Structures are given as C-alpha cells and as structure tokens.
C-alpha cells in the first residue's frame, strides 16, 4: 500500500511552490490551446465547406469583378441547382477599427443555398419571417448575432456605412439577425441586397464571386473545368474552385503562420516541461532521506515511483485543467473582440481541450519519472547518509 | 551605504545547478518567442516604413483604409490636378498622378499562386514616388503592357526577370525594368500603365492619386492637404506618403507586437513562477547562510537587493539564451498577408538592436518579478532564527 | 540461532583502491540476545549492520536469519523481507518531518495487509510502549531528540520484527535521554524477547548489552560475554 498521506503532506507543506508550478503549467496550457485554436480555426474553414458547392471567381484576382450577366449561363451547366452571387462591399462602419465582412448578395438565392432549413441548408439560421422581411426590403440587411450583440443592433435599426470601393453614404435597415449553423459561416457578417448596391453605384452589374450549389453526385472537377473553359477566351476569365479550396486560398495567405505558431507552441510546451521538471527534481532532492527511509522500511520501488508520478500528474494536471478552463471561459464563453477581426469563428474545440489536458498530464508523468528514476537509482545507504 | 553581499549571491546560483539551468532555459524560451515574433514585426515594418518622402501625398477616397480600397473618378482627378500648390515637374506639368492599386493573382516561381500588388501609374509617378528608382532597364512605355517590377519580386513570381514576361489575363506583360526603393514598399510592387491596367480590370475609375506638394511655398504640404480635403468636388483623405506606409505597417506590425508581448508575457510569467520556485528552494537551503550575513552586519535591504540581483542574473542569462535561440532566424525571408491590401508582402525576419534591447529589458523584468517573493522572504529572516539548524 | 553470518566479505572501492571492510567475518546472534558492536571508525561495524539488515549485499559469505538465507536475493525480495523481519533505529531518528508521530509509526504497517483499524490499534500500542501515547499528533519538529528516538523505536517495533538493528541510537542524545532510550531497548528485549544488534561508540551503552563484539579492521577482535 502506498503511503498517500505523504503525498498530501508534501502538497500541503510546499503549497506555494506547488501553486507556482501549477500556475506556470496552467499559463503554458492556456497558450497552447490558444495557439492550436488559431490553427484549427484556419483549418476549420476549409473543413466546414459544403461538399457540393463550388465558387467561381475571376482568374485574375479576387479583387476583379465578374459580370452578373453570366449568371444564367452558369445556371445552364448540368448539375447546377442554384447560383448565389456575393460581392465584397468593404466600407467603414463609424470607425475603420470596426471590421466585419459586408457582402451584397441575392437574398432569395442566399436563403436557398445557405439558409433553407426545410431543404436541409443550415449554414445561416434565421426565422422564416426575418428571411421574408429581408427579401421584401430592398434596403434591408441581415447581420450575424456576434456583431448584432457587439453593436447592439436589432431588427428595425438602421446601419450607416461609408463606402470606399463603392463611394458614398449607405444606409441599411436591419431585417434579421442570423446564427451561424456551420463552420462555413461566422456570426459577424452582414448581407444586403445586391440590387440596392448596383443601382446606387452606377449599375455596373458586377459581382465578386458566384457560389454554385450542385446536385449530389455531380462530377465537381469536370464541372469546374467546363465552367473555366467556357469563359477562357472571354474578357472575364474565371477560376472555379470547390468551397474548401476557395477557403484554403485564404488560409494559405497566412503564409508561414501555422508553422510559426507550431514552433511557438513547441517552445511553450518545452518551457512548461522545464517548470514542472524543476519543481519535481527539487522535490526529489529534498526527499532523498525520505526515499531512503521508505526503502529501508521495505517499501518497493514502484511505491516510491508512484509518489513522484502522482505528484507530477496532479501538479501538472491541475495546471492543465486550470489552463483549459481559463481558455474556455475567455474564448468560448466571454469572447475576445480583438480576435474576431482576424478569426470570426475563434472557439476552442473539445479535442483541443482534451489534447491540452493530455499534454499536461504527459508533462506531469515525464517530470515525475525523472526524480523517481534518480531516487530508485540511488543506493539506499547513500540516500540515508546525511550530506 | 547599504552593502550588498554580491559575490555571495552570484556564487549561490551554482548551489542547485539543475534548478538554475532549468530556470534559465524556461526564461530563455519565452524570450526566444518574443524575439521571434518581434523580429517578424520589425521585418514587416522595415519593408514598409521609410518609404517615400513627406512632401509626397497619397490621396484616397474618404473611408478607404488602403490604396486597394480606394476609388477616384476621372473628373475628380482632373480637378485635383488643376489645384494650386502642386509642384511642377521638369516638363512643366504638375506632379500629380492617377493610380490604381490592386492585388493580382500571379503564379509563384516555386509553384502555387499568391496575390501580388500591381500599381497602375502615370509616368509622373516616377517623378513623385522617386524613392522607387529604376536600377535596371527602363520605364514602361505608356499604352503598352510593359511592366517594371520591384527588386524583391525577382525570382518570386514566375517569369519575373528583366527580359522575360509575367502572365496576366492570359497575356504576356514584358518586364522592362527593375525598381529599387532601398528596402521600401515599392520593392514588392509591380508598376504598369494605369490606363492599360484599368482596361484589363474593366474598371471605369482610378483608384487614388499621388501628388507632390510645392515645397517652395511655406508649409506647402500642409496647405495642399488642406486644399484637397476642403475641395467639395473631392471626397478624399490625404496622407503624407511615409505616414501612409507607416500606418499600413502599423496595422500588422502593432498586431504582431501585441501578439509577441501577449504570448511571451504569459510564457514569461510561467517561467517567473518556475524561477521563483528555484530561488525559494535555494533560500530554504541557505537559511543559515543568510542568517550569518545578517548576523555579521549586512542589512535586510542589502540581502533583498542581493537576492534580486541573483534573480536578475537568472533573467539576463535567460534573455541572452533567448536571443541566441532566436538569432538564426535573422534574415530568413518570409512572406505574409498584408491585411491592409490583401497582398503578399515579402520581407525577412530582422533581429535588430531594438528587438534585442526589448528582449533584454523583458528578461530583466522577468528576473525582478521572479525574485520579488524570495528576496522579500530572505530579507525578513530574523538573524537568530536563521542561525538555527 | 537467530542470525548466523559466515565468512562475510565486503569491499568498497574508493578512489580506485579496493578497501576490504569486512574480512571473512563470522557472527552469531541468539534469539533475544542484545549484541553491541564497537570498534574504531572504519572497522566495519555499520557495514555489518547494513548487511544484517539487508540494506547492502556482501561480496561473499552467507547470512542466515531464522534459517533463511538473505544473500543473493533480489532488491525487491530484500525489501519485502526487511519489512517483515527488521526494525531499524537510526542515530538521527530519520522520522519523516511531514508526518505526525503516529503517522510515522504507521508507515511500515502500510506494507502489511492490516486494516486501517488494526493499524491504528498497533500504532497506539507501540506508542504506548515507548511512553508517547499522548504525543501521537505531534510533528517530529515538535518533539525533543529523545522523544523523536522513541517514536523511531515505536516505528521499528510496530510490525513485530524478528530483530532490531540500532545504529548509534544514543549518539545524538544527551546523557539522560540516552539512558532512557537504553532502558527502553532493555525493556523491549525483556518484554518481547527481541534480539538487538546495536552499533555504538558509547561504552556506557555497550554495558547494557549482553555481549560486546569488538571489530578491528573488518574482523572480530575480542569476544567478551557480559554476564549481568
């Protein structure tokens, strides 16, 4: 039987040290979950993409428009069930710091492709009457619940934007507040009528992208090739990508960020290990005599190892739990507005939390093993000898 | 004067060498992360700031935060060009130029594609934005698809070298010149004729205008800014060229710097906790020694400062280690998204003097924080109790 | 015979030089016998004690305790054997400072299948024997040296071992406490018939033993039976 009483006595006796160590591990685990969440958020956008949706954009640049008049042509491709165009509006809401995405689109098509629950579309979740109100008001808009909360908008409010890509002062009536129903949508985007944009910006008839929803079983690669081939020799060449690949394009714009974050994560992990190992080694040294006495009394080696391992696991596990809890409360419950600017869907995934806990327990085991190993390798007589 | 048992404290760092080393490594790692991200921010900023001269003005649509978001009607530019206070070029024409700045998707030399900034300009831009000098080849010929490219793009984009051609819209765009702006923003840009660019993009309007203020008049730049912003025909915001780039750099640079201090700060607090543990343990083992110091006449303040110095030494050692860990990244070229313009910005990690200074200051601070509790505890030991075994 | 050591050899290597601490030593200890080991520093008395207690292994020879050979066993085996047969009393008591007196005494009982309740009874009995029943919840630092050594003795006897090994049990105590400890050891032997092997420098302590064994350079110099 293991003298667990010793374990508790030591925790109590060295409480300050234990607390500092746990806190150190907690901070590291907090950082780890944060860093990994950045990466999973980036990946999430790719994975959450609709399997049967493709995005058509200009082959030249995302910032080059396509004419909306090609929509019927896009619709005519076999397998295309619905087409929805998106146009990046830019603009400024009160201050440049208030960054959220604003798109002009066709409300009916947006609803059909992303929001028709009856047909199984649940990327954008919004009550039917709000969809209807949005479709009915040419100057209407809908906003995600996150920005609605942040800026205190409710249906009936007017949002004033200053146009930059589309010069002028713009006014939109809030007709609905949606909730994102999949990782493909975030809760901080504003949608409004493309017709309203077009008639107030000189009827240029241009859009940024078309999202095509395809019938299940459509050969996506074949369709993409067909679309791009159709416009190859026109003066608006297209590039058709799956929604996942289109999202991936944005992710890859971050360049080496994921690699950099992984490197930092490695450093954080290693630092946490140093902190835990330091304390456990220290305890090993301080308990040399205790180990000697226990072994003289006839306690087997695994008992002594268990004491060190348990201490490592508990100290690091408690830190890990605190770190995961802290990141959960901060990112998943409270939310950090500054992060929304870059990562509107920033949320710590359960698997990240499990992983972080596992890592902290692992650090605990490894930093408990070393002093246990030292303790068991020291001859009993040396351990009993006073230095 | 309060004497400090300096030599004693420094020697004590070897009492428990494993604790000292582990503390130094954990502080070093946090400083390493700080240096890594700060050098990233510095490299990014250096690629943008120091671009241009203060008498050059960047004229954007009001509400636009970057050149890529701006729009300007042809008649607006005509009105602008006719305003007084603009310097006159060698050919007698006002130094004002309409431009169009847009991110273009180009194939990278190593495969894949990325957004690179194209700047459609009038020839006057060469006279205005004169930090961009043609170092090889010549200017493009107006009315053609010829381009001149920034030095940093050579070899990064497929076909990007003098005498070759970029492929855009399925058309070849011959590279006829190379721009060098001495590490400035123009090193990452491609310049072409603005009218041709607008045709290619099917854009009816310019993006922005650049202009040089007539500095022979007192406060030439301020007065021109006031004139432009006050003109009812123009709905524009005017910034000096260096200010514009500094602000662009600031957007990401500040974010990176914020991230650097948050991550390294959180790590460092953890490391400081670990270091406190080491120092407290070392103190526990040296209780009688500290008692002896107090007994032979060192004052508590001296003991306190001595322990703080011990802690700061640990911190500094960690700082030096951290800089050494991160130093190899210096000069490594990388690219990242410039969120202001949605283009890829080429730059290199720069471990500059101020980055190192920040790291050393930071590590000193970590040392002080680590040492506070142990030093206070040490100085509060009663000499008699400390002498007990 | 309780302990029968034959031809025990033990050498240590110090600075490349092999030093024979015990040289073909023979020793017998009878049931209930109290043997005092004396001799100058380096004569091998503590080494002998450690070998008898299974804390160390001899290079050659045989040590049988209650007809069990303990030489050649594995470390784990020896540990289990120690927990059943040996009670250690150290010069510096070696109590665990984070545990109370009762908890220190209880420690070796954790290696037995006794229930918590039985353990508590045994601890109370052992503390009663050493006269510290009222100090059970004191931490070692709250006890005097003599009291700490009594707790250590209680810890040594609580498992009802075959014999006690005491390494300078009075070496760190004042004369009066030392006398009390010796009296306690004597009483234990009288009451429970425990054999005691005790290393000591103190002639006064040696006088309490049945037999004095004098070690000189790793061998027994004189064998002198003290008859009370």
Compute how many other C-beta atoms are within 10 angstroms of the C-beta atom of residue A316.
34
Nearest to A299 among C79, C94, C98 (CB): C79
Q: Is the pLDDT of residue B250 over 50?
A: yes
Give per-residue pLDDT as tens, C43-90. Answer: 888 899 999 999 889 999 999 999 999 999 988 888 889 989 999 998
Contact C83/A9, CB-based, under 8 Å?
A: no
pLDDT, residue A174, reads 95
For the residues B141-151, what does the mean pLDDT come to? 93
Residues of C in contact with A292 (CB under 8 A): 94
* pTM, 2 dp: 0.77
Contact C99/A295, CB-based, under 8 Å?
A: no
What six digits make up the tokens of B303?
Answer: 């003991």
Q: Is the pLDDT of residue B345 over 80?
A: no
pLDDT, residue A342, reads 66
Q: Is the dihedral of CA A322, A327, A330, A332 positive or negative?
A: negative
B214 or B256: which leads in pLDDT = B214
Q: What is the DSSP string of A58-92?
A: ESS-TTS-EEGGGHHHHHTSTTEEEEEEEEE---B
| Range list of H helices, C28-139 | 45-52, 75-85, 101-106, 116-129
Contact A63/B112, CB-based, under 8 Å?
A: no
Give per-residue pLDDT as tens, A23-65. Answer: 999 999 999 998 898 888 877 777 767 778 899 998 877 777 8
> Of B183, B185, B179, B178, whose CA–CA distance to B164 is shortest?
B178
Shortest CA distance from A11: residue in chain C: C98
Give the integer Cα–Cα distance in Å for B228 and B211: 11
pLDDT, residue B340, reads 52
Instruction: Extract the runs of DSSP E, i.e. beta strands, from chain C.
Output: 3-14, 17-29, 34-38, 60-65, 68-69, 86-89, 163-167, 195-199, 211-216, 219-225
Residues of B in contact with A318 (CB under 8 A): none
> Of A269, A21, A316, whose CA–CA distance to B30 is shortest?
A269
Percent of chain A with pLDDT over 70: 96
Residues of A in contact with B235 (CB under 8 A): 167
Look-up: residue for tokens 């003289």? Answer: A296
A131 Cα to chain B: minimum distance (Å): 30
Q: Give CA separation, B63 vs A131, A171, A240, B78, B235, in Å.
A: 30, 15, 32, 21, 9
Q: What's the distance, CA A62 to chain centroid?
A: 23
Q: Is the pLDDT of residue B387 over 70?
A: no
B67 touches chain A (CB under 8 A): no
Chain A residues touching chain C at CB-CB below 8 Å: 1-3, 5-6, 9-10, 12-13, 289-290, 292-301, 379-381, 384, 386
Mean confidence (pLDDT) of chain C: 89
The answer to whether residues A297 and A384 touch, using CB atoms and an 8 Å cutoff, is: no
For the residues A230-258, what does the mean pLDDT come to? 79
Q: Is residue A3 classed as helix, strand or coil in its secondary structure? A: coil
Give the integer Cα–Cα distance in Å for B208 and B223: 19
How many residue pairs from chains A and C have C-beta atoms closer than 8 A? 63
Give per-residue pLDDT as tens, C155-192. Answer: 999 999 999 999 999 988 899 999 999 999 999 988 88
Mean confidence (pLDDT) of chain B: 84
A73 touches chain B (CB under 8 A): no
pLDDT, residue B2, reads 64
B127 Cα to chain A: minimum distance (Å): 27
B340 touches chain A (CB under 8 A): no
Contact C80/A300, CB-based, under 8 Å?
A: yes
Q: Which chains touch B (3 or more CB pairs under 8 A)?
A: A
Residues of A in contact with C81 (CB under 8 A): 298
Chains B and C touch, contact meaning at least 3 pairs of CB atoms under 8 angstroms apart = no
What six digits make up the tokens of B155?
Answer: 């070899």
Q: Is the pLDDT of residue B339 over 80?
A: no
Nearest to C96 among A2, A293, A386 (CB): A293
The answer to whether residues B109 and B156 touch, using CB atoms and an 8 Å cutoff, is: yes
Residues of A in contact with B277 (CB under 8 A): 17, 20-21, 275, 278-279, 282
Give the integer Cα–Cα distance in Å for B213 and B55: 5
A345 or A224: which leads in pLDDT = A224
Contact B26/A278, CB-based, under 8 Å?
A: yes
B270 Cα to chain A: minimum distance (Å): 4
Contact C90/A10, CB-based, under 8 Å?
A: no
Nearest to A290 among C92, C96, C155 (CB): C96
pLDDT, residue C226, reads 45
A92 touches chain B (CB under 8 A): yes
What six digits make up the tokens of B202?
Answer: 């099917």
B65 touches chain A (CB under 8 A): yes
Residues of A in contact with B202 (CB under 8 A): 64-65, 206, 235-236
Residues of C in contact with A13 (CB under 8 A): 98
pLDDT, residue A341, reads 62
C151 Cα to chain A: minimum distance (Å): 14
Q: Is the pLDDT of residue B18 over 60?
A: yes
Percent of chain B with pLDDT over 90: 26
What six digits make up the tokens of A198?
Answer: 């077009």
Give per-residue pLDDT as tens, B83-120. Answer: 888 998 888 889 999 999 988 888 888 777 777 889 99
B33 touches chain A (CB under 8 A): yes
What six digits make up the tokens of C94?
Answer: 């070696």
Nearest to B270 among A162, A239, A271 (CB): A271
B90 Cα to chain A: minimum distance (Å): 34
Q: Is the pLDDT of residue C223 over 60?
A: no
Give the integer Cα–Cα distance in Å for C208 and C199: 12
Which band of pLDDT confidence, cut at 50, 70 and 90, is reported for residue B204?
confident
Residues 6+ apart with CB under 8 A from B133: B179, B180, B181
Contact B336/A90, CB-based, under 8 Å?
A: no
Nearest to A295 among C79, C84, C96 (CB): C79
A340 or B308: which leads in pLDDT = B308
pLDDT, residue B49, reads 67
Q: Is the pLDDT of residue B249 over 80?
A: no
Which band of pLDDT confidence, cut at 50, 70 and 90, is reported for residue C222?
low
For the residues B184-196, what does the mean pLDDT come to? 90
- Identify from A28, A31, A61 which residue to disrupt to test chain B contact, counting B C-beta atoms within 10 A and taking the largest count: A61
Which 135-174 residues of chain B touch chain A by CB within 8 A? 168-170
Q: Is the pLDDT of residue C227 over 50?
A: no
Burial C111-141 (b: 16+ CB within 10 A, else e): bbebeeeebeebbeebbebbebbebbebbbe
Give the integer Cα–Cα distance in Å for B345 and B377: 52
What six digits make up the tokens of A207?
Answer: 């859009």
pLDDT, residue A256, reads 67
pLDDT, residue B314, reads 92
For the residues B263-283, what does the mean pLDDT come to? 86
Percent of chain A with pLDDT over 90: 40
Give per-residue pLDDT as tens, B38-69. Answer: 888 888 777 776 677 888 999 988 777 788 77
Q: Is residue A207 classed as helix, strand or coil in its secondary structure? A: strand
Q: Is the pLDDT of residue A335 over 90?
A: no
Nearest to A5 among C76, C80, C103 (CB): C103
Which band of pLDDT confidence, cut at 50, 70 and 90, is reported for residue A142?
very high
Q: Which chains touch A (3 or more CB pairs under 8 A)?
A: B, C
Nearest to A162 among B63, B271, B274 (CB): B63
Q: Is the pLDDT of residue B346 over 70?
A: no
Longest dimension (CA), chain C: 53
Which band of pLDDT confidence, cut at 50, 70 and 90, is reported for residue A196?
very high
Which band of pLDDT confidence, cut at 50, 70 and 90, is reported for residue C228?
very low
B70 touches chain A (CB under 8 A): yes
For the residues B147-171, what does the mean pLDDT come to? 86
Give the integer Cα–Cα distance in Å for B10 and B19: 14
Nearest to A298 among C56, C80, C96 (CB): C80
Shortest CA distance from A15: residue in chain B: B277
The answer to whether residues A372 and A312 touch, using CB atoms and an 8 Å cutoff, is: no
C53 touches chain A (CB under 8 A): yes
Look-up: residue for tokens 């209407």? Answer: A140
Give the integer Cα–Cα distance in Å for A271 and B267: 8
Q: How many residues does chain B have?
A: 389
Contact B36/A64, CB-based, under 8 Å?
A: no
- Identify from A60, A200, A235 which residue to disrupt to test chain B contact, counting B C-beta atoms within 10 A and taking the largest count: A60
Nearest to B266 among A27, A232, A267 (CB): A27
Nearest to C98 among A6, A301, A379 (CB): A6
A347 or B340: which leads in pLDDT = A347
Contact B235/A167, CB-based, under 8 Å?
A: yes
B25 or B253: which leads in pLDDT = B25
pLDDT, residue A39, reads 85
- Identify from B26, B192, B326 which residue to disrupt to test chain A contact, counting A C-beta atoms within 10 A and taking the largest count: B26
Phi, psi at residue A101, to the nearest 5°?
-75, 140
**Bridge partners, A209 (sequence order):** A57, A86
Shortest CA distance from B265: residue in chain A: A27
């Amino acid at each position: 039987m293991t003298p667990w009483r010793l374990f508790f006595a030591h925790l109590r006796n060295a409480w300050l040290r234990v607390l500092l160590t746990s806190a150190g591990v907690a901070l590291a685990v907090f950082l780890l979950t944060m860093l990994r969440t950045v990466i999973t958020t980036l990946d999430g956008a790719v994975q959450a993409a609709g399997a049967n949706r493709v995005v058509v954009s200009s082959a030249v640049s995302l910032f080059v428009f396509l004419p909306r008049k090609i929509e019927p042509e896009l619709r005519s491709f076999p397998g295309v069930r619905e087409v929805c165009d998106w146009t990046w509006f830019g603009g400024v809401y009160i201050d440049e710091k208030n960054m959220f995405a604003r798109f002009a689109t066709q409300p009916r098509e947006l609803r059909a492709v992303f929001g028709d629950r009856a047909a199984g579309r649940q990327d954008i979740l919004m009550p039917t009457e709000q969809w209807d109100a949005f479709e009915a008001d040419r100057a209407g808009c809908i906003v995600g619940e996150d920005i609605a909360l942040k800026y205190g908008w409710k249906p009936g409010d007017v949002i004033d934007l200053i146009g930059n890509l589309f010069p002028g002062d713009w006014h939109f009536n809030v007709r609905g507040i949606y909730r994102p129903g999949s990782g493909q949508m975030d809760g901080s985007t504003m949608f409004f009528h493309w017709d309203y944009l077009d008639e107030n910006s000189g009827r240029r008839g241009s859009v940024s992208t078309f999202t095509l929803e395809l019938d299940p079983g459509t050969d996506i690669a074949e369709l993409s090739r067909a679309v791009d081939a159709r416009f190859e020799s026109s003066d608006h060449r297209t590039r058709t990508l799956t929604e996942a690949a289109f999202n991936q394009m944005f992710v890859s714009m971050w360049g080496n960020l994921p690699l950099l974050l992984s490197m930092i994560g490695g450093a954080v992990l290693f630092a946490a290990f140093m902190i835990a190992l330091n304390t456990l080694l220290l305890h090993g040294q301080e308990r040399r005599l205790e180990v000697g006495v226990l072994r003289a009394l006839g306690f087997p080696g695994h008992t002594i190892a268990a004491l060190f391992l348990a201490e490592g696991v508990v100290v690091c596990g408690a830190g890990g739990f605190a770190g995961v809890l802290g990141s959960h409360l901060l990112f998943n419950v409270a939310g950090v507005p500054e992060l929304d600017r870059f990562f509107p869907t920033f949320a710590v995934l359960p698997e990240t939390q499990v992983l972080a806990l596992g890592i902290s327990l692992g650090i605990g085991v490894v930093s408990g093993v070393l002093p246990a190993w030292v303790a068991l390798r020291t001859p009993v007589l040396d351990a009993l000898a006073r230095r | 004067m309060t004497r400090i048992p300096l030599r004693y404290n420094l020697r004590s760092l070897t009492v428990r060498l494993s604790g000292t080393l582990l503390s130094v490594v954990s502080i070093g790692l946090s400083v390493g992360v700080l240096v890594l991200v700060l050098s990233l921010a510095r490299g990014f900023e250096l690629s943008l700031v120091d671009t241009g001269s203060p008498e050059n003005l960047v004229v954007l649509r009001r509400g636009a935060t970057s050149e890529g978001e701006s729009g300007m009607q042809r008649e607006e530019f005509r009105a602008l060009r006719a305003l007084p206070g603009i310097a006159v070029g060698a050919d007698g024409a006002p130094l004002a130029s309409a431009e169009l700045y847009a991110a273009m998707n180009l194939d990278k030399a190593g495969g894949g594609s990325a957004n690179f900034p194209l700047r459609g300009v009038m020839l006057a831009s060469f006279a205005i934005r004169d930090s961009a000098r043609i170092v090889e080849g010549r200017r493009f010929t107006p009315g053609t698809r010829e381009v001149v490219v920034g030095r940093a793009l050579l070899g990064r984009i497929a076909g990007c070298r003098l005498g070759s051609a970029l492929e855009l819209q399925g058309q070849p765009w011959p590279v006829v010149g190379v721009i060098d702006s001495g590490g400035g923003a123009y090193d990452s840009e491609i310049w072409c004729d603005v009218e041709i660019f607008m045709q290619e993009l099917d854009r009816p309007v310019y993006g922005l205008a650049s202009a040089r203020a007539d500095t022979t008049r007192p406060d030439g730049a301020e007065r021109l800014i006031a004139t432009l912003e006050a003109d009812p025909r123009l709905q524009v915001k005017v910034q000096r060229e260096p200010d514009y780039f500094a602000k662009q750099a600031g957007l990401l640079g500040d974010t990176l710097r914020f991230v650097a201090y948050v991550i390294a700060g959180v790590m460092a607090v953890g490391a400081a906790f670990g270091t406190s543990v080491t120092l407290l343990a070392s103190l526990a083992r040296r209780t009688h020694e500290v008692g002896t110091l107090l007994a032979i006449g060192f004052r508590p303040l001296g003991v306190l400062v001595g322990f703080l110095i011990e802690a700061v030494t640990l911190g500094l050692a960690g700082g030096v280690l951290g800089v050494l860990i991160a130093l190899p990244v210096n000069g490594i070229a990388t690219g990242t998204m410039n969120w202001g313009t949605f283009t890829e910005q080429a730059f290199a990690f720069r471990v500059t003097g101020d980055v190192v200074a920040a790291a050393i200051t930071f590590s000193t601070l970590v040392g002080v924080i680590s040492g506070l509790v142990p030093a206070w505890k040490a100085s509060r030991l009663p000499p008699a109790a400390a002498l007990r075994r | 015979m309780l302990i029968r050591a034959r031809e025990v050899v033990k050498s240590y290597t110090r600075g490349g030089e092999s030093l024979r601490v015990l040289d073909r030593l023979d020793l017998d200890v009878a049931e209930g016998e109290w043997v005092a080991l004396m001799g100058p520093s380096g004569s091998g008395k503590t080494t002998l004690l450690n070998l008898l207690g299974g804390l160390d292994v001899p290079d050659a020879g045989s040590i049988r305790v209650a007809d069990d050979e303990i030489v050649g066993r594995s470390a784990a085996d020896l540990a289990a054997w120690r927990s059943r047969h040996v009670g250690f009393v150290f010069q510096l008591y070696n109590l665990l400072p984070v545990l109370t007196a009762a908890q220190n005494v209880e420690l070796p009982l954790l290696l037995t299948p006794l229930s918590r309740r039985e353990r508590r009874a045994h601890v109370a009995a052992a503390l009663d024997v050493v006269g510290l029943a009222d100090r059970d919840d004191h931490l070692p630092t709250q006890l005097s040296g003599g009291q700490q050594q009594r707790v250590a003795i209680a810890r040594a006897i609580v498992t009802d071992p075959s014999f006690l090994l005491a390494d300078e049990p009075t070496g760190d105590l004042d004369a009066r406490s030392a006398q009390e400890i010796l009296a306690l050891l004597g009483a234990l032997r009288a009451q429970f018939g425990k054999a005691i092997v005790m290393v000591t420098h103190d002639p006064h302590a040696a006088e309490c033993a049945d037999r004095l064994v004098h070690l000189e350079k790793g061998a027994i110099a004189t064998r002198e039976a003290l008859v009370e």
